[in-house]
Amino acid sequence: MIKVSVCVPTFNHKNYISRMLDGALEQKTTFPFEIVVGDDGSTDGSQEIIRSYQEQYPDIIKAFLHTENQGPFEPREFAGRNNVLQLLKACRGEYVAMCEGDDYWTDPYKLQKQVDFMENNPDFSICHHNMLVTYEDGSKSHPFNKENQAHVSTIDDILQDRWFMATASWLYRNYFLTESFAEWHATAAAGDWALSIQLAAKGKIAYLPEVMGVYRKHSAGLSNVHSHSNKWFLRNRKEMFENVNVWLDKKYDNTILQTIARYEEQLEKLEKIGS
């Protein structure tokens, strides 16, 4: 059985995808891994680059090169969702390591370090590490996580709406080999949040403080769309936490209700200023 599936959703990442694939191929491991790429109908030449890598590494790289974007097209907040969900289900590894096509890894032992931790700590469902955040506009780079980042977190931390895991740093147990995603996952604009909640419901979250990759911030990302000044996004987040509360049988009712209240407050402020 393949130990790790490297899951690579990508769209119009021509200027970045080679660096991402090189970082994955450079991984030194004692176990077999696959790289599963899902290109969401890129029109910038990304698919030609991915195809050339697949031809060079046919036993490692599995590519889904969609001729059309998998949608949904509206609202913009859902961009790429269907491609990612299809890709996650195509991952056959015991573990899944996430890395979007515009991010990349810098430590050739990243996968080995994370798998070693997970094999020795079966009560953990996710392992993440620090990343260097870089900016296309030349802003100063900085670590994703602060020095005081907890080495162990739980679902309660995520339900407080605290985001402390760069998606490209995740390695998680692949429960979805045999299980389906929660029904509310498909209606959540931020798919990484939806996935992290489902994973954290299964076990603890480990943090390795080493910087083992680069998280790029640039104009092609969704950061500006997933914004706390975007009323549609705020409403979607509030609805997601309401659905999660029911899904978790209200075990974390107090925490979730506090989070929902904060979204209601933000929405009320936006309504007042008419944005």
Q: Which domains does the chain have, with CATH numbers?
A: 4-217 (3.90.550.10), 231-273 (no CATH)
Write down the pLDDT at residue 187.
Answer: 87
Distance CA 61, CA 156 (A): 36
Q: In terms of Cα–Cα distance, which of 183, 184, 19 is closest to 10?
A: 19
Tokens for 139? 């802003």
Scored b (16 or more CB within 10 A) or e, 159-182 reads bebeeebbbbbbbbbbbbeeeebb
Write down the pLDDT at residue 74.
Answer: 46
Residue 190, amino acid: A
Q: In terms of Cα–Cα distance, which of 231, 78, 253 is closest to 159?
A: 253
Q: In terms of Cα–Cα distance, which of 182, 190, 207 is closest to 126?
A: 207
Write down the pLDDT at residue 45.
Answer: 94
Burial level of 139, CB count in 10 A (0-12/13-18/19+)?
exposed
For the chain of 275 residues, list the mean pLDDT of each consecutive stretch of 10.
Answer: 96 96 99 96 94 98 83 51 87 98 98 99 99 95 98 98 96 97 90 95 99 87 60 92 98 98 94 73
Q: In sequence order, what E strands does 182-222 have?
A: 204-217
Scored b (16 or more CB within 10 A) or e, 196-217 reads bbbbbbebebbbbeebbbbbbe
